[in-house]
Amino acid sequence: MRRDVLIPHDEIIGKIEELSLKISSDYSNKEPVLIGILNGVIFFFTELVRRLTVPTRMDFIRAASYGSSMTSSGAIRLLKDVELALKGEDVILIEDIVDTGLTLAHIVEHLESKGPASLKICALIDKAERREKTISIDYCGFKVNEGFLVGFGLDYDEKYRYLPDICVLK
Ligand code: 5GP
């Protein structure tokens, strides 16, 4: 399959620097718990977290939707839950792509039930065109209209995660 570069690596890193400044300033007297949604978030998560100037703790959650590789069916199951206690904590949920919003809506509901003091969302890419659930993204990297994206941690069938740029698969 052909892949065209959509967002070059340097641009991704520049945007992550901006996001980390904003988050560090918003949480200046706090110690947020950062929760990454595996697996696609891995590169974004590490690049973001190591630039923050506030102390953080981190954990991960993993969900799968019963769909094909390129579409989400809407039925979500949790494959791995968070391990840290979230009651009373300031949580930032970190996601690679918000597409229909179904995965994130399910995870937000699940985490809200653990009683965090606050829960904000940070996503590298907002694909708002196919949104089915209203999601307010507090920290957003890029808005992308269409296309299936790979690279910088994002896969198609576990391939292409290693690519440094974000590319559109054709
Ligand atoms: P949603 O539930 O919002 O429709 O989809 C969320 C998940 O689907 C994302 O976390 C991501 O793993 C996957 N996804 C959605 N769009 C894309 C895409 O363009 N490329 C890749 N690799 N994954 C996507």
Q: Which residues line ligand 1 (CB under 6 A)?
A: 40, 65, 72, 95-104, 127, 148-150, 154-156
CATH number for the domain that contains residue 87: 3.40.50.2020
Mutation to probe ligand 1, out of 97, 102, 161 (largest number of atoms < 8 A from CB): 97
Residue 165 lies in a domain: no
74: left (phi over 0), alpha (psi -120 to 50) or beta: left
Task: Tell me, yes or no, whether 167 lies in a domain.
Answer: no
Closest CA relative to residue 69, chosen from 167, 144, 166, 148? 148
Q: Is residue 50 part of a domain?
A: yes
In order of 40, 49, 165, the CA distances from 11 in angstroms are 18, 17, 9
Q: Which residues contact 37 (CB under 8 A, 6 or more apart)?
A: 60, 61, 62, 63, 93, 94, 95, 96, 103, 104, 107
Let me know if residue 70 belongs to a domain: yes
Angle (deg, nearest 10), helices 42-49 and 9-26: 50
In a domain, 37, yes or no: yes
The pLDDT score that the predictor gives to residue 73 is 60
Residue-wise pLDDT for 151-161, tens only, equals 999 999 999 99
With respect to residue 2, please indicate whether it lies within any of the assigned structural domains. no
What is the residue range of 73's domain?
A: 9-144
Q: How far is the CA of 28 from the centre of ligand 1 (A)?
A: 31
Domains: count for the chain:
1
Taking only the tens place, the pLDDT of each residue in 105-128 is 999 999 999 999 999 999 999 998
Whether residue 29 is preceded by a cis peptide bond, meaning omega within 30 degrees of 0, is no
pTM over 0.85: yes
For the question of residue 155 being annotated catalytic, the response is no
CB atoms within 10 A of CB 90: 18
Quote the ligand 1 centre to 131 CA distance (angstroms): 11
- For residue 163, is it within any domain? no
pLDDT in tens, 43-70: 999 999 999 999 999 999 999 876 655 5
Going along the chain, which residue ranges are E strands? 3-7, 33-38, 57-65, 76-80, 90-98, 118-126, 139-143, 148-150, 166-169
Q: Phi and psi of 96, rounded to 5°?
A: -75, -60
Angstrom distance (rounded) from CA 87 to CA 105: 19
Ligand 1 centre and the CA of 98: distance in Å?
6
- Is 158 inside any structural domain? no
Question: Which residues in 21-36 are b (16+ Cβ under 10 Å) and which e?
Answer: eebeeebeeeebbbbb
